[in-house]
C-alpha cells in the first residue's frame, strides 16, 4: 500500500489572484545551455551503459559551470578574444567489468553536438574550452545500482512538487520565447540571437512582458540600423503576443537597457548570439524548472533535474513526474480547478513507494473533494506503479527538462 493523501486546498487559483510573475530563460541563455547539455550527457551515458550492461549505471552529471569568455562586438562583426569555459562536474561510472569507458570524451562530444545544433554562430572547436571533472561515485551510492531487485531505491531523501494547469501568463511567456527562437523567426530576423529571456508580470488582467534579446553584431552596421531592426522585431513580437493570449491590456518591451546616442554601449550586441561570449556565466539549476518556466508564485523543488540519473535520483524523477501526474489529474477530473502534486522520497526506499504522495486540489464551485478523492488516488497509484516505464522515457531523452 502506498501512502497517498488527497487534500482540499482552500486558496484562490493563481489565475484569479491579482499578481503573477513568470520568467523563461531561452535557448541561448547561459543557464539554459548548462541544463540542456548536462541532461544530454546523462541520456548519452544511459545509452552507453544500457548497450554494455543492459542496465543504467550510477551517474549524476548535474554540476556544471559555463564561464563567460571575452568578446569585442563591432558593427558588421566583432571578434572572440577569449573562449568560454564549460566545466562538467560530479560523478559517472567509468569502468565496466574491467573495461574503461571514456566518460570525458562522451561529455565533450555531446556538448559539441549540442552547440552545433542549437547555436548558429558558435563554433565549439574555437569558441569553447572544456574541463571535465567527472569522478567515480561513492561506494554507498554506486551500490544502489547493484541491487537487482525491481525498482531501484531512492539515492536521496528529497521532495518535489508539480502543478496544473498553466495560467495564461505562464503559457504566453513560454510561447513567446519559443516563437522568438523558432527556425522561422530566425530566418526572418537573423540578427536575433538565441540568448532570449522573457519576464512576464500580470496585474489582474493587465500583462507586461519584458524581453531581453542578444543581437548578433555581424548583421548590424550602425546604431541607426540596430534600432530600426529592433523596432521591427518589437512590432512582430507584440503582434504575436496579442494574437496568442487574451488580456485587457498588453505591454511588451524589448531590450530596455538600450540608449540611443551611446554607440556600442547603448545596444545589446553580441558576437555569437549569447551573452556567454563575454557578459554572463551560467550554471546548472539556475534556469527553468522542468516545465520550462520559473513561476515565482508557485512552490517548486530546489533540486536541479538536469543531468541526474533517471532511474534512482528522485531529484530528477519526482521533479518531472509530479508535473505529469498533475496534468493527468487536471485533465481527467473535471471538478478540479487547480492541482498540486507532492512526492517525498526516503533514501534507500524503492522510488515507486515514496514516503508520501499527496495531491492538493482547488475545487470548482461547490464540489466536494470527497467525491473525487478515489479517482485521484488511483491516478497517483497507477503512475507510481508504472514508474519504471517513466524512468526509461527520461533515460531516452523523450521528456524535456528545461
Q: How many residues does the chain have?
A: 402
Indicate the residue among 111, 144, 177 that finishes a domain.
144
Does pLDDT of 161 surpass 70? yes
Q: pLDDT confidence of 151, banded at 50, 70, 90?
A: confident
pLDDT at residue 138, rounded to an integer: 56
Exposed e or buried b per residue across 346-363, where buried means at least 16 C-beta atoms within 10 angstroms of its C-beta: bbeebbbbbeebbbbbbb
Distance CA 313, CA 351 (A): 9
Shared domain check, 376 and 296: yes
Does pLDDT of 160 surpass 60? yes
Q: Rounded mean pLDDT of 54-59?
A: 92
pLDDT at residue 366, rounded to an integer: 85
What percent of the chain has a predicted confidence (pLDDT) above 90? 92
pLDDT by residue (tens digit) across 267-297? Answer: 999 999 999 999 899 999 999 999 999 999 9
Q: pLDDT confidence of 189, banded at 50, 70, 90?
A: very high
Residue 384 covered by a domain: yes
Q: Rounded mean pLDDT of 53-65?
A: 94
Which among 356, 333, 337, 335 is positioned nearest to 346, based on CA atoms? Answer: 356
Q: What is the CATH number of the domain that holds 195?
A: 3.30.300.340
In terms of pTM, does the model score above 0.85?
yes
pLDDT at residue 139, rounded to an integer: 44
Sheet with 84-92: strands ordered across: 128-135, 84-92, 59-67, 282-283
pLDDT at residue 211, rounded to an integer: 98
Distance CA 176, CA 350 (A): 40
Please state, in angstroms and as integers, the Cα–Cα distance from residue 95 to each residue in 58, 84, 90, 101, 139, following that order. 11, 30, 16, 6, 14
Does pLDDT of 144 surpass 60? no
Residues 86/69, Cβ–Cβ less than 8 Å = no
- pLDDT averaged over the chain? 95
Distance CA 144, CA 159 (A): 19
Instruction: Tell me the three state secondary structure of residue 362.
Output: strand
Distance CA 132, CA 273 (A): 25
Shared domain check, 320 and 258: no
Report cis status (omega within 30 of 0) of the bond before 165. yes
Domain holding 121, by residue range, is 30-144
Indicate the residue among 262, 283, 304 that finishes a domain.
283
pLDDT at residue 170, rounded to an integer: 98
Q: What is the CATH number of the domain that holds 139?
A: 3.30.300.10
Shared domain check, 135 and 112: yes
What percent of the chain has a predicted confidence (pLDDT) above 70? 97
Distance CA 313, CA 58 (A): 10
Indicate the residue among 243, 263, 283 that finishes a domain.
283
Residue 353 covered by a domain: yes
Distance CA 340, CA 357 (A): 11
Amino acid at each position: 500500500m502506498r501512502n497517498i493523501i488527497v487534500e482540499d486546498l482552500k486558496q484562490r487559483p493563481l489565475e484569479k489572484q491579482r499578481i503573477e510573475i513568470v520568467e523563461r530563460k531561452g535557448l541561448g541563455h547561459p543557464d539554459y545551455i548548462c541544463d540542456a547539455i548536462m541532461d544530454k550527457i546523462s541520456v548519452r551515458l544511459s545509452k552507453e551503459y544500457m548497450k554494455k550492461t543492459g542496465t543504467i549505471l550510477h551517474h549524476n552529471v548535474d554540476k556544471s559551470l559555463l564561464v563567460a569568455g571575452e568578446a569585442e562586438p563591432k558593427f558588421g562583426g566583432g571578434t572572440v578574444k577569449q573562449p568560454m569555459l564549460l566545466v562538467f562536474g560530479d560523478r559517472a561510472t567509468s569502468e565496466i567489468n574491467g573495461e574503461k569507458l571514456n566518460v570525458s570524451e562522451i561529455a565533450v562530444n555531446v556538448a559539441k553536438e549540442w552547440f552545433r545544433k542549437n547555436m548558429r554562430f558558435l563554433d565549439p572547436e574555437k569558441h569553447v574550452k572544456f574541463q571535465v571533472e567527472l569522478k567515480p561515485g561513492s561506494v554507498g551510492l554506486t551500490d544502489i545500482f547493484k541491487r537487482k531487485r525491481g525498482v531501484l531505491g531512492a539515492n536521496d531523501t528529497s521532495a518535489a512538487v508539480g502543478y496544473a494547469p498553466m495560467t495564461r501568463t505562464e503559457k504566453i511567456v513560454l510561447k513567446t520565447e519559443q516563437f522568438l527562437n523558432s527556425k522561422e523567426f530566425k530566418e526572418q530576423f537573423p540578427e536575433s540571437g538565441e540568448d532570449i529571456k522573457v519576464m512576464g508580470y500580470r496585474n489582474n488582467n493587465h500583462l507586461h512582458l519584458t524581453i531581453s534579446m542578444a543581437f548578433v553584431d555581424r548583421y548590424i552596421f550602425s546604431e541607426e540600423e540596430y534600432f530600426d531592426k529592433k523596432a521591427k522585431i518589437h512590432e512582430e513580437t507584440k503582434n504575436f503576443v496579442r494574437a496568442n493570449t487574451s488580456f485587457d491590456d498588453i505591454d511588451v518591451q524589448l531590450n530596455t537597457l538600450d540608449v540611443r546616442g551611446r554607440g556600442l554601449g547603448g545596444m545589446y550586441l553580441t558576437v555569437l548570439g549569447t551573452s556567454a561570449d563575454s557578459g554572463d556565466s551560467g550554471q546548472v539549476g539556475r534556469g527553468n524548472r522542468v516545465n520550462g518556466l520559473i513561476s515565482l508564485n508557485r512552490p517548486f523543488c530546489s533540486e536541479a533535474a538536469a543531468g541526474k540519473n533517471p532511474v534512482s535520483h528522485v531529484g530528477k524523477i519526482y521533479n518531472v513526474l509530479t508535473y505529469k501526474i498533475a496534468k493527468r489529474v487536471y485533465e481527467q477530473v473535471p471538478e478540479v480547478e487547480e492541482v498540486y502534486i507532492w512526492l517525498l522520497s526516503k533514501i534507500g526506499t524503492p522510488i515507486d513507494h515514496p514516503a508520501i504522495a499527496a495531491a492538493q486540489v482547488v475545487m470548482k464551485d461547490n464540489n466536494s473533494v470527497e467525491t473525487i478523492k478515489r479517482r485521484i488516488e488511483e491516478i497517483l497509484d497507477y503512475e507510481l506503479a508504472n514508474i519504471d516505464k517513466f524512468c526509461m522515457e527520461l533515460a531516452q531523452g523523450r521528456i524535456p527538462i528545461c
